[in-house]
Amino acid sequence: MRRTLQGIFNHAVAMIASLIMFIPVYLVIVNSLKTKAEASSMGVELPAVPQWQNFAIVIERGKLVTAFGNSLLYAVAATAIGVTLAALAAYVLSRNRTPFNRFIYFFIIMGIAMPTNFVTLTRVMQWVHLINTQFGIIVLYAAAQIPFNVFLIYAFVETLPRELDEAAIIDGCSPFRLFFYVVFPLLTPVLVTAGVLNLLGIWNEFLLPLYYLNRSTYWPMTLAVYNFFGQYQADWSLVSADVLLTILPVIVIYLLAQRFLLSGMVAGAVKG
């Protein structure tokens, strides 16, 4: 008897906790379909008549097509660059552990703790003529992911048998061929994990564009939403619709890749 009561209590607590975690997303979904008047208090009630046109309105007024394209470009390009470069670095640093290489490894992963100096970075961006350019943002995002990616991939490279490398070297394989044809495919699980984490992180970020992109045509989704909120904060139905369109890709990627994501987070953190 005591056991069943305890079980019911546990389920109730878990349900309440999940409910609290889900309510904000629920609010966004229902309010995105309401009229302006209905959504004024951002309540939990369902809309009387679903206002599907809200989405068309925000896509047009919020310039979401451009913003979506920008976010996609930044996230995909920076992730590809960041993961590839990090994989190359993690691989040689992990395989050839000279004292110098170990130092370089620790030097790079110090970047996980390092805060960005946005002010002097402006000056660097001016020097290399990348300020207010899309390429500049991509490069910055790629650079920002490198310490964590190197950390994650380095640990994974250790688990791959060296015999494979040796066999390939004896067969006369060049370092490039060895890496791209033999090692790279074996790294797939960790590359997917790092890639998903990078994609979500970049999609959600908005500090770098806030500092370094002053043209609204270059803005990603996050900055577009923030700006849209500034203009339409009296109309929560439109803000909700805008927000929902921004988080929809994130939620879809999360649900599809959650196994990689959860295992990757854990591999990175628990392994230490």
Partner 1 sequence: MKSRAYPFYFAGGALGLYLLFYVLPSVMGFYYAFTDWNSYSSEVNFVGLANLKLIFASGQGYLLFIKNTVVFTVATILTKTVIALGLAVLLTSGLKRLAHFHRVIMYLPAVLPMLVVSLIFKSILNPATGLLNTFLREVGLGFLAQKWLVDVHWAMPSVIGVDTWRGAGYIMVILIAGIQAIPKDYYEAAAIDGASGWNAFRHVTLPLLMPVLAVTTVLNLLYGLKVFDIVFVLTNGGPGRATDTVYTVIFDEFSKGRYGVATALSSILFLVMIGLGYFVIRFMHREETR
Residue ranges in 172-231 that form contacts with partner 1 under rule CB under 8 A:
175, 178-179, 200, 203-207, 210-211, 222, 225-226, 229
- Is the Cβ of residue 51 or residue 223 nearer to partner 1 in the bound state? 223
3-state secondary structure of 37: coil
List all residues 6 or more positions away from 101 whose beta carbon is below 8 Å from its beta carbon.
Answer: 92, 93
Nearest approach, Cβ of 48 to partner 1 (angstroms)?
19
- Is the Cβ of residue 51 or residue 137 nearer to partner 1 in the bound state? 137
Question: In whole angstroms, what is the distance from residue 76 CA to residue 199 CA?
Answer: 7
Among positions 98-117, residues that touch partner 1 (CB under 8 A) are 98, 101, 104, 106, 108-117
- Kindly give the interhelix angle for 236-271 and 64-95, rounded to the nearest 10 degrees: 0
DSSP notation for 146-204:
HHHHHHHHHHHHHTS-HHHHHHHHHTT--HHHIIIIIIHHHTHHHHHHHHHHHHHHHHH
- Is the Cβ of residue 51 or residue 145 nearer to partner 1 in the bound state? 145
Binder among 131, 137, 140, 187 for partner 1 (CB under 8 A): 140
Question: In whole angstroms, what is the distance from residue 230 CA to residue 227 CA?
Answer: 5
Give the interface segment with partner 1, choosing from 49-57, 59-67, 84-92, 185-193 (CB under 8 A): 84-92
Binder among 69, 169, 177, 217 for partner 1 (CB under 8 A): 169
Question: Is 78 an interacting residue with respect to partner 1 (CB under 8 A)?
Answer: no
- Is the Cβ of residue 57 or residue 182 nearer to partner 1 in the bound state? 182
Among positions 147-166, residues that touch partner 1 (CB under 8 A) are 147, 150, 165
Question: Is 138 an interacting residue with respect to partner 1 (CB under 8 A)?
Answer: no
Question: In whole angstroms, what is the distance from residue 72 CA to residue 254 CA?
Answer: 16
Among positions 48-67, residues that touch partner 1 (CB under 8 A) are none
| Cα atoms in the 13 Å half-sphere on the side-chain side of 199 | 20
Question: Is 139 an interacting residue with respect to partner 1 (CB under 8 A)?
Answer: yes
Question: Is 254 an interacting residue with respect to partner 1 (CB under 8 A)?
Answer: yes
Give the interface segment with partner 1, choosing from 49-57, 62-70, 184-192, 259-267 (CB under 8 A): 259-267
C-alpha torsion sign, points 63, 238, 138, 200? negative
Question: In whole angstroms, what is the distance from residue 194 CA to residue 185 CA?
Answer: 14
Binder among 59, 160, 182, 247 for partner 1 (CB under 8 A): 247
Binder among 28, 33, 152, 213 for partner 1 (CB under 8 A): 28
CB of 251 closer than 8 Å to CB of 245: no
